[in-house]
Amino acid sequence: MAVANFTAVTHSLRAAFGKSLLLYTNECTGGLARMSAADLADLDLLSFTNLYDPHNQDGVEEVVAAKKVYETSVLPKLSPHHKVPTPHRTSV
Q: In this structure, how many other beta carbons lie within 10 angstroms of the beta carbon of residue 14?
A: 16
Three-class SS string for 14-48? HHHHHHHCCCEEEECCCHHHHCCHHHHCCCCEEEE
- Strand 24-27 to 45-48 pairing: parallel
pLDDT in tens, 46-92: 876 666 677 777 778 878 877 887 788 888 888 887 777 666 555 54
- Rounded distance, CA 22 to CA 38, Å? 17
Domain locations in the chain? 3-77
What is the structure's pLDDT at 11? 95
